């Protein structure tokens, strides 16, 4: 059995957690290293069996095992769900210091994420930017709410030097933070500057609520093949309970207008983020997937507002996420 020592004692890691989900399945994860995985009842029985220190020989002697079951045990060991009892898993995590050091030095850096705006025209109840600068305030003009062209160029130059220093050829650019279309002139300047200096990313993406989108902007995104991502927190009536303007007015109609405007110029919306909070958690269901298909949006990211859902049963959250994953 490749990857396992049959005579060695194995035990289910003390850091393994299991959540029961529908259809006899479980969501298993490791509290130190993650690796969230959906497993069936048979795999859960194997984890339970190794709840006490046992050798693989013990398991093989007690159960009728085929190659697929052997593969499951290998998988559990490779993902640190089943380990040697004497191993200090915390120490193993600390041994990843090299990876952390490389990350800090920029050796693994290949994405430049520019937060061009810390200001948003929405007032979504769960969002930190809801407490950002007031758009009607004179403080916004010339304030730190928007990235300056000078800072953008400096970030690009330092990022380019880091790539050259570490021999990295391929890189991606993301433009976002609060609402980047509030400073579209800067977005346009950044992209055109990159092409002018021949420092062209493999991929450019932007996250926007699309409420300020114009035809000029949509054509620009198409010209430079910029992937457009937006957010929509359920079907229109549900979205308008949480994703609102600062005066409480719903945003669905304006987001939909933006999506259609992108499509009208022959471009497309790449993906939608759906945030689940205490207000819409029970209201967002399978119909959101049908909505995505109807609007020809190929990707979706479900997120959780952990502040307002802190008291929600974790198993309910896992069940909803697993269901969405299965449908998608």
268 vs 42, higher pLDDT: 268
Which pLDDT band, with edges at 50, 70 and 90, does 65 fall under? low
Which residue intervals of the chain are DSSP H helices? Answer: 41-49, 56-62, 67-78, 89-94, 97-105, 149-165, 184-196, 215-223, 236-242, 252-264, 287-294, 314-327
Tell me: pLDDT of 3 over 70: no
The whole-chain average pLDDT of the chain stands at 88
Across the range 201-222, mean pLDDT stands at 98
Q: What's the confidence (pLDDT) of residue 187?
A: 98
154 shares its domain with 191: yes
Residue 124 belongs to a domain: yes
What is the per-residue pLDDT for 135? 47
pLDDT of residue 310: 64
Beta-bridge mates of residue 227: 205
Asked if residue 302 and residue 205 are part of one domain, the reply reads yes
Whether residue 20 is contained in a domain is answered as yes
Q: Provide the CATH number for the domain around residue 127.
A: 3.20.20.70
The Cα angle at residue 2 between residues 18 and 79, in degrees rounded to 5: 25
Residues 37 and 143 in one domain: no
The reply to whether 71 and 105 lie within a common domain is no
pLDDT at 129: 64
Under 8 Å between Cβ of 149 and 186: yes
pLDDT of residue 2: 47
> In terms of residue numbers, what domain contains 72?
9-95
Residue 4 lies in a domain: no
pLDDT score at 112: 97
Task: Please tell me the predicted confidence (pLDDT) of residue 68.
Answer: 60
The CA distances from residue 118 to 31, 185, 214, 224, in Å, are 33, 15, 21, 24
For range 24-52, the mean pLDDT: 90
Q: Are 46 and 104 part of one and the same domain? A: no
Residues with Cβ within 8 Å of residue 213, at least 6 apart in sequence? 181, 257, 258, 261, 262
Do both 77 and 174 map to the same domain? Answer: no
Task: Name every residue whose Cβ is closer than 8 Å to that of residue 70 and which is 6 or more positions away in sequence.
Answer: 1
Count of domains observed in the chain: 2
- Partnered with residue 37 across adjacent β-strands are 28
Same domain, 68 and 130: no
52, 80, 95 — which closes off a domain? 95
The CA distance from 112 to 159, in Å, is: 7
Q: Residue 61 maps to which CATH number?
A: 3.90.930.70
Token code pair at residue 55: 């050798």
Helix (H) or strand (E) holding 29: strand 25-30
Contact 67, 54 (CB under 8 A): no
Domain membership of residue 1 (yes or no) is no
Give pLDDT tens digits for 71-94.
788 889 888 999 999 988 888 777
Residues 6+ apart with CB under 8 A from 38: 21, 25, 26, 27, 28, 322
Q: Could you tell me if 192 and 120 lie in one domain?
A: yes
pLDDT by residue (tens digit) across 145-161? 899 999 999 999 999 99
**What is residue 286's predicted lDDT score, i.e. its pLDDT?**
92
Does residue 71 sit within a domain? yes
Q: Are residues 113 and 229 in the same domain?
A: yes
- Residue 67, pLDDT score: 55
Determine, yes or no, domain membership for 3: no
- Does residue 150 share a domain with residue 82? no
Look at residue 269 and tell me if it is in a domain. Answer: yes
**Three-state DSSP class for 211?**
coil
Write down the pLDDT at residue 295: 93
Rounded CA-CA distance 294/288 in Å is 10
Residue 240 lies in a domain: yes
Alpha carbon of 309 to those of 44, 176, 228: distances in Å? 28, 25, 29
Residue 68, φ and ψ in degrees, nearest 5: -65, -35
pLDDT tens digit string along 160-208? 999 999 999 999 999 998 999 999 999 999 999 999 999 999 999 999 9
> What is the pTM assigned to this prediction?
0.72
CA distance 175 to 173: 7
Token pair 């939909």: residue: 256
Last residue of a domain, one of 75, 95, 115: 95
6-33: per-residue pLDDT in tens?
788 999 999 999 998 888 889 999 998 8
Look at residues 61, 79, 95 and tell me which one is the last residue of a structural domain. Answer: 95
Q: Tell me how far CA of residue 22 lies from CA of 38, 39, 41, 221, in angstroms.
A: 11, 11, 11, 42
> pLDDT tens digit string along 266-311?
999 999 999 999 899 999 999 999 999 999 999 999 998 877 776 7
pLDDT-based confidence at 64, cuts 50/70/90?
low
**129 vs 182: CA distance, rounded Å:** 13
Q: What's the CA gap between 30 and 149, in Å, rounded? A: 43
Q: Are residues 105 and 209 in the same domain?
A: yes
d(CA 49, CA 192): 60
- Give 231-270 pLDDT, tens digit per residue: 999 999 999 999 999 999 999 999 999 999 999 999 999 9
Do 43 and 109 fall into the same domain?
no
């Amino acid at each position: 059995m490749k990857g396992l020592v049959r005579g060695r004692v194995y035990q289910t890691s003390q850091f393994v957690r299991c959540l029961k989900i529908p259809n006899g399945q479980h969501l298993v994860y490791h509290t130190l290293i993650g690796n969230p995985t959906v497993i069936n009842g048979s795999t859960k029985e194997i984890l339970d069996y190794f709840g006490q220190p046992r050798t693989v020989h013990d398991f093989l002697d007690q159960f009728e095992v085929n190659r697929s079951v052997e593969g499951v045990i290998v998988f559990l060991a490779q993902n640190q769900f089943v380990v040697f009892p004497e191993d200090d898993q915390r120490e193993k995590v600390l041994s990843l210091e090299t990876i952390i050091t490389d990350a800090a030095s920029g050796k693994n850096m290949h994405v430049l994420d520019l937060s061009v705006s810390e200001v948003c025209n929405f007032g979504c109840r769960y969002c930190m930017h809801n407490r950002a600068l007031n758009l009607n305030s004179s403080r916004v003009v010339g304030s730190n709410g928007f990235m300056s062209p000078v800072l953008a160029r400096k970030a690009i130059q330092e990022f380019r030097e880091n790539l050259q220093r570490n021999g990295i050829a391929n890189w991606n650019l993301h433009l976002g933070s609060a609402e980047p279309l509030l400073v579209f002139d800067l977005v346009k300047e950044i992209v055109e500057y990159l092409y002018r200096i021949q420092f062209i990313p493999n991929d450019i993406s932007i996250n926007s609520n699309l409420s300020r989108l114009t035809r000029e902007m949509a054509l620009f995104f198409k010209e430079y093949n910029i992937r457009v991502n937006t957010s929509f927190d359920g079907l229109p009536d549900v979205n308008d309970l949480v994703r609102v303007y600062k005066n409480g007015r719903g945003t669905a109609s304006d987001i939909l207008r933006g999506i259609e405007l992108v499509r009208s110029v022959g471009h497309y919306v790449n993906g939608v983020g759906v945030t689940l909070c205490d207000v819409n958690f029970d209201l967002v269901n399978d119909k959101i997937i049908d909505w995505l298909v109807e609007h020809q949006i190929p990707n979706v990211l479900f997120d959780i507002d952990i502040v307002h859902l802190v008291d929600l049963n974790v198993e309910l959250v896992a069940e909803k996420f697993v269901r969405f994953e299965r449908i998608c």
